Structure formats: C-alpha cells, structure tokens
Amino acid sequence: MLKLTNDFLEEVVEKQKTDAKLLKYKTLIEQGKKLDIEIDEQGVMRCQGRVCVPDVPELKRMIL
C-alpha cells in the first residue's frame, strides 16, 4: 500500500484548488450537498477515503 507523505499531500491540496472538476465538487459540498466526496481535517478531498488526485500529470507520475 502506498504511504503518502506530508509534502505530497500538501502539493495535492494545492493542486486540488485549481482543478476545475474538483472545484465543482467542493462548491457542492460547501452548499451542503451529500456526495461520496468529503474534505478531511487537513483539507484533502477524498472519495470513499481515497485521495482525489487532481488532473496533473506530474502528480499522477509520482503515484505510478
């Protein structure tokens, strides 16, 4: 199982703020809509407990 570092999570959170698709989900969450996506106490967007990785090739390469 992949262990996430704080540096990586911080970068993911920053990139989540600029990903158009994730921003739409964030808006819905803030409006009180019930989704499978939630924002944890660290500000990381997660879907069913898994980190939502923004559509940024460099982040995806780091994971794969």
**Residue 37 belongs to a domain:** yes
Is residue 1 one of the residues assigned to a domain? no
pLDDT at 56: 93
Alpha carbon distance 5, 13 (integer Å): 12
pTM assigned to the model = 0.79
Domain that holds residue 45: 6-63
Q: What is the pLDDT of residue 27?
A: 96
Cβ atoms 35, 29 nearer than 8 A: yes
Total count of domains within the chain: 1
Residues of the chain with pLDDT under 70: 1-4
The string of pLDDT tens digits covering residues 27-45 is 999 999 999 999 998 899 9
**Does residue 11 lie in a domain region?**
yes
Residue 25 lies in a domain: yes
